[in-house]
Amino acid sequence: MALDFKASVMWESVPLLLGGVHLTIIITLGGLAIGFLLGTATGLAKTARGKLPRALADIYVEAIRGTPLIVQVMFLYFGVPLATGMRIPPVTAGIVAIAVNSGAYIAEIVRGAVESIDVGQTEAGRSIGLTRMQALLYVVWPQAFRRMIPPLGNQFIISLKDTSLLVVIGVGELTRQGQEIIAVNFRAFEVWLTVAVMYLVMTLSIARVLRIYERKLNARFGR
Amino acid sequence: MKTCETPMIEIRNLHKRFGQNEVLRGIDLTVCPGEVVVIIGPSGSGKSTALRCINRLEEITSGKVVVDGHDLYAPATDINYVRTEAGMVFQQFNLFPHMSVLDNVTLGPIRVRRTPRAEADRLGLALLEKVGLADKATAYPDQLSGGQKQRVAIARSLAMQPKVLLFDEPTSALDPELVGEVLEVMRALALEGMTMVIVTHEMGFAREVADRVIFIDQGRIQEEGPPDEFFSAPKNPRLREFLGRVRHA
């Protein structure tokens, strides 16, 4: 049986899908903003001298990296309220899940970048009297941050695609919108194709923006 | 053993161990204000480690290091403050690559001393002038030669107006034709009366500029003295052997 392809179905599904795109972007941006802060704090804790911050950071990263995101999402949305007695709105749960998940991976990116900066940089900073914090802030971090951009871009793209898993808790993001349209018109080929193109446009945009930003940073650093 | 009323640096029975490896086995050294002390010795002798202890870049196993009256390893000592009194110049320069040359020099004054930027810039430019690099103020470290980088690093240390400058093989990473410009800056500082402790392999420079030369080997000071006697009549057999090897290198 040949496929009866209808381009018009693709066009007709666009307005509804754009609603999903909107939510996907909000969850991605919100999740990554919090995830970046969480990841930075955790990554720096991993380079700390104290044993306790290192141990806590390790537990967090291993627990998140070692379990599937879909399980984390369902645990957070269906499981946690049973313990706390407080229901979480699905979008909030989605943002938190993306934040906690990406934070664990970003922590490794931050740790790796900070540790890749030559120890002589810190020593030079300390020898002119900077405190440990100042040496990190003014000397190590700006250099480490530049090295983080490519792997961070990678993580941003992964997290954006991961928001599609939030269908399991009924968040009306892009994938969910696609499912709902197909439930009405049964045009799986056209609708999933449109959904895929929309994800692709978003991920390519992230890659593009980050490449421009990286080039700008390099120019400012005199290379 | 040198004595003076108020020593700038006083090291007493300094021991340092890395795991099983005892790098420093009891170093005693007094450096007086305005004195230029050159430390020589074979690689792995502990000379760089000893120098780094004067800025507490290493933790020590036992002993005492006092810089300008501050006991560096006493728990109550504000190490961030004391570090500003002893500037360090590294073999690998360790300039901050993401900052312009001027910003490298003014970072300390601005962030540690809270000097207003305009004033810090004036000070920074004056120091760059002094090391002959005022025209490179807006350049980035990657755009400089090794000799220029090391001169910027010296200006960066001077910006904190330290009482002592420590040099850890400052010319060892340089192409031979760039060594002279760095030594020239160091010579000028010595003439101004800056207290300096220099780990180096430049024997000619040691002979000319040092007030005292120290030979460290196997974690101990084996011989010390004014450069004339030190180089012309070395008593320690290992020093004789070392000088023989260096001269023929």
Of B149, B35, B38, B143, nearest to B90 (Cα)?
A: B149
Report the DSSP pairing between strands B70-71 and B195-199: unpaired
Distance (Å) from the alpha carbon of A219 to chain B's nearest alpha carbon: 10
Please determine, for residue B1, whether its predicted confidence score (pLDDT) is greater than 60. no
What three-state secondary structure class fits A112? Answer: helix
> Which tens digits make up the pLDDT trace of B13-66?
999 999 999 999 999 999 999 999 999 999 889 999 999 999 999 999 999 999
The band of B249, judged by pLDDT with boundaries at 50, 70 and 90, is low
> Which tens digits make up the pLDDT trace of A67-86?
999 999 999 999 999 999 99
Q: Which of A120, A121, A128 sits opposite B84 (nearest CB)?
A: A128
Distance (Å) from the alpha carbon of B178 to chain A's nearest alpha carbon: 22
Buried b (16+ CB within 10 A) or exposed e, B46-82: bbbbbbbbbbbbbebeebebbbbebebbeeeeebeeb
Take residue B62 and report the two structure tokens written for it: 């036992």
Please determine, for residue A2, whether its predicted confidence score (pLDDT) is greater than 80. no
> Which tens digits make up the pLDDT trace of A210-220?
999 989 888 76
Please determine, for residue B248, whether its predicted confidence score (pLDDT) is greater than 80. no
Cα B194 from chain centroid?
11
Q: What is the 3-state secondary structure (H, E, C) of B83-117?
A: HCCEEEECCCCCCCCCCCHHHHHHHHHHHCCCCCH
What's the whole-number mean pLDDT along residues B79-108?
95
Please determine, for residue B6, whether its predicted confidence score (pLDDT) is greater than 70. yes
> Which tens digits make up the pLDDT trace of A128-182?
999 999 999 999 999 999 999 999 999 999 999 999 999 999 999 999 999 999 9
Which stretches of chain B are assigned E, i.e. beta strand? 9-18, 21-31, 36-40, 62-67, 70-71, 86-89, 164-168, 195-199, 212-217, 220-225
Please determine, for residue A222, whether its predicted confidence score (pLDDT) is greater than 80. no
Contact B109, B118 (CB under 8 A): no
**CA-to-CA distance for B170 and B183, rounded, in angstroms?**
9
Contact B181, B151 (CB under 8 A): yes
**CA-to-CA distance for A190 and A198, rounded, in angstroms?**
12
Q: B111 CB near a chain A CB, below 8 Å?
A: yes
CA distances from A54 to A49, A61, A113 (A): 8, 11, 17
The band of A1, judged by pLDDT with boundaries at 50, 70 and 90, is low
Complex ipTM over 0.85: yes
Contact B51, B199 (CB under 8 A): yes
Sign of torsion, CA A132 A135 A141 A146? Answer: negative
> Which tens digits make up the pLDDT trace of A87-115?
999 999 999 999 999 999 999 999 999 99
Q: Which of B81, B96, B153 sits opposite A121 (nearest CB)?
A: B96
Q: Is A223's CB within 8 Å of B87's CB?
A: no
How much helix, strand and coil, in percent to the nearest 5, is found in chain B?
Answer: 40, 25, 35
Q: Which of A128, A221, A222 sits opposite B107 (nearest CB)?
A: A128
What's the whole-number mean pLDDT along residues A6-32?
95
Report phi then psi at A26, rounded to 5.
-60, -45
pLDDT of res. B246: 81
For residue B53, the chain A residue with the least C-alpha distance is A127
Entry pTM: 0.90
Q: Is B57's CB within 8 Å of A131's CB?
A: no
- In the chain, the amino acid numbered A204 is L
pLDDT of res. A218: 80
Q: Is B88's CB within 8 Å of A121's CB?
A: no
**CA-to-CA distance for A25 and A33, rounded, in angstroms?**
12
Of A45, A171, A31, nearest to A103 (Cα)?
A: A31
- Give the H/E segment covering residue A200: helix A188-220
What's the whole-number mean pLDDT along residues B194-212?
95
The 8-class DSSP code of residue B194 comes to -
The band of B114, judged by pLDDT with boundaries at 50, 70 and 90, is very high
